[in-house]
Chain A
Amino acid sequence: MSVQTDAPTTLDVRALGVTAVNRALRALPDGAQATLVEVRGAHNLAVGLTNKINITINGNTGYYVAGLCDGPDVTINGSVGWGVGENLMSGVVRVRGNASESTAATAHGGLVIVEGDASSRAAISLKGGNLAVAGNVGHMSAFMAQAGTVLVGGDAGDSLGDSLYEAVVYVGGKIRSLGADARVEELTEADIAKIREMCAAAGFDHINPENVTKVASAKQLYNFDALKNQRY
């Protein structure tokens, strides 16, 4: 497929199909702009891209949108299904609507922004990426998150931060319950600076960086203690 490089590219997902759309995106040079239309909930859009392009997706998407990417910035003018920004390496993924389960799962780098709510298991197994959610997150969020930062403007569901490692979670609203080995810690100046930085990056002005709850690992489940109670 020939791609125009000096003008924004518009790709019709319904007409072309997901594979052709992803191939066309991959062929764009750094700095290019692309808009996806007629999305209709399609899965696996804009995945595995390494070029530094700007992608706008108009409509609600299915699963894994912008997953496995290491380069592009992606904005979704709609809501997204499971696993948006899954295993993201770099780049900014912005969801203007709500996100379903497993948002930013295992993301190593980059920033996923959800302007609405994110459902269960947001930031599960986060590995260094950042997730900023303006609204609420569902149950089991930040489960086994290893590194990176999660900022939640609204409330968090049950079992937040279960089995956390080094990742840190900031919650502006209420926390329904903490998971095993998660605990509330005092905010430090460094935390406040980090929250301020994430709010600025996400464009959030509804969070007071000095009035959030910090959740981190209590490190009681962090490693096996081979001698503890002598019974492993």
Chain B
Amino acid sequence: MCGIVGLLVRDPALEADLGRHFTAMLEEMTARGPDSAGMAIYDRGVPQGSQRWSLRGDGASTNWKAVQSAIDAAGGTSSEIEILDNIAFLVTSANHAAVHEGLKHAADEKITVVGVGQAMKLIKDVGLPREICDHYNVPAMTGYMALGHTRMATESAVTTDGAHPFSPSNDLALVHNGSFSNHASIRRQLLDAGVRCITDNDTEVAAQFIGYRMAQGDDLEEAMRHVLKEFDGFFTLVVTAERSFSVVRDAFACKPMVIAETDAYVAVASEYHALASLPGIDNARVFEPHPEEIHTWTV
């Protein structure tokens, strides 16, 4: 079991309350996944030409100033950093090579890159969803889209690295409820194509697969169709890209998903009660995706 929630805002007036609504939704999914949680929050706060790096330190004692200075020195640029305990969001115009060079210089700080993109903030941790949201100040966050996951681990260990979402490439985030039975085979095929998975987690393989397909020119929906063709197992997947949001269930549809659509938002959740507090829910169009049916919305 795992819990999924997602919220895509259509009415800009709702953007200010994104974090508050999202946190309430994620907390409702605690019973489906109490061991870890994670989220990708999308806003338009990053200036053109810059990117936001979601970084995780090795503990609370990370010297973020040293990390920032090392990246600035490597890129010959100046960055802005928002620090939330052992996670930081660094916005910089330095290119990928320069950021990785900087992180190499600051190797003592043992930084993990969790995600990068023009719009995405990626947070994940072990513990109860509500505590994680409060710890990282998620209720106060604003933005146009959020994707979240509560995990009950079955296929790999309970670690922060094993928590969802997985982000294989810029602004792309994937969460999964279910299990893949052929992830080892696809992991090897991806390796042959030069794509290396970092964790033992089955979901990461699907994320890397979608990242690889999109790098080959697929759009999000085409990549999802390839997932249906190649992956064996039980799954409800929700994937967000910078401007799109996509949902798919496997042929058996054993893993739940409820979608609520209004003029103001599209919201998804594993169970309806996670949607029950949203404004206007009583007049929303509420439905479930059919097996192997891909639903995609764009912002």
Write the nearest CB–CB distance from B89 to chain A, whole angstroms.
33
B residues in contact with A42, CB < 8 Å: 273
Pair B291/A139 contact, Cβ less than 8 Å: yes
Pair B272/A60 contact, Cβ less than 8 Å: yes
Pair A41/B253 contact, Cβ less than 8 Å: no
Complex Cα distance, B272 from A98, in Å, reads 13
Q: Is A162 an interface residue (CB 8 A)?
A: no
Given known pairs A40-B277, A100-B288, A138-B290, the reply for A120 and B272 (CB within 8 Å) is no
B270-286 to A contact mask, C-beta < 8 Å, 1/0? 01111111000000001
Q: Is A90 an interface residue (CB 8 A)?
A: no
B residues in contact with A119, CB < 8 Å: 253, 288
Write the nearest CB–CB distance from B25 to chain A, whole angstroms.
12
Pair B276/A60 contact, Cβ less than 8 Å: yes
B243-277 to A contact mask, C-beta < 8 Å, 1/0? 00000000001001010000000000001111111
Pair B271/A41 contact, Cβ less than 8 Å: yes
Q: Is A217 an interface residue (CB 8 A)?
A: no
Pair A62/B253 contact, Cβ less than 8 Å: no
Q: Is A165 an interface residue (CB 8 A)?
A: no
A side interface size, CB within 8 A? 18
Complex Cα distance, B290 from A63, in Å, reads 18
B117-155 to A contact mask, C-beta < 8 Å, 1/0? 000000000000000000000000000000000000000
Count A-B contacts at CB 8 Å.
Answer: 43
B residues in contact with A62, CB < 8 Å: 271-273
Q: Is A101 an interface residue (CB 8 A)?
A: yes
Given known pairs A79-B286, A100-B288, A119-B288, the reply for A40 and B253 (CB within 8 Å) is no
- With most chain B CB atoms within 10 A of its CB, the pick from A40, A41, A60 is A41
Q: Which of A27-50 contact B (CB under 8 A)?
A: 40-43
Complex Cα distance, B291 from A187, in Å, reads 31
What is the chain B residue whose CB lies nearest that of A157? B290
Complex Cα distance, B149 from A203, in Å, reads 42
Q: Which of A54-82 contact B (CB under 8 A)?
A: 60, 62-63, 79, 81-82
What is the chain A residue whose CB lies nearest that of B281? A60
Complex Cα distance, B290 from A157, in Å, reads 10
Q: Which of A67-120 contact B (CB under 8 A)?
A: 79, 81-82, 98, 100-101, 119-120
A residues in contact with B291, CB < 8 Å: 120, 138-139
What is the chain A residue whose CB lies nearest that of B290? A138
What is the chain B residue whose CB lies nearest that of A139? B291
Pair B273/A101 contact, Cβ less than 8 Å: no
Pair A101/B271 contact, Cβ less than 8 Å: no
Write the nearest CB–CB distance from A79 to chain B, whole angstroms.
6
What is the chain A residue whose CB lies nearest that of B291? A139
Given known pairs A119-B288, A120-B291, the reply for A101 and B253 (CB within 8 Å) is yes
B residues in contact with A79, CB < 8 Å: 272, 286
Q: Which of A99-153 contact B (CB under 8 A)?
A: 100-101, 119-120, 138-139
Given known pairs A60-B276, A60-B286, A100-B288, the reply for A120 and B271 (CB within 8 Å) is no
Complex Cα distance, B274 from A81, in Å, reads 12
Q: List 19 A-B contacts (CB under 8 A).
A: A40-B273, A40-B276, A41-B273, A41-B274, A42-B273, A43-B273, A60-B272, A60-B286, A79-B272, A82-B256, A98-B286, A98-B287, A100-B256, A100-B288, A101-B253, A101-B256, A119-B253, A138-B253, A139-B253
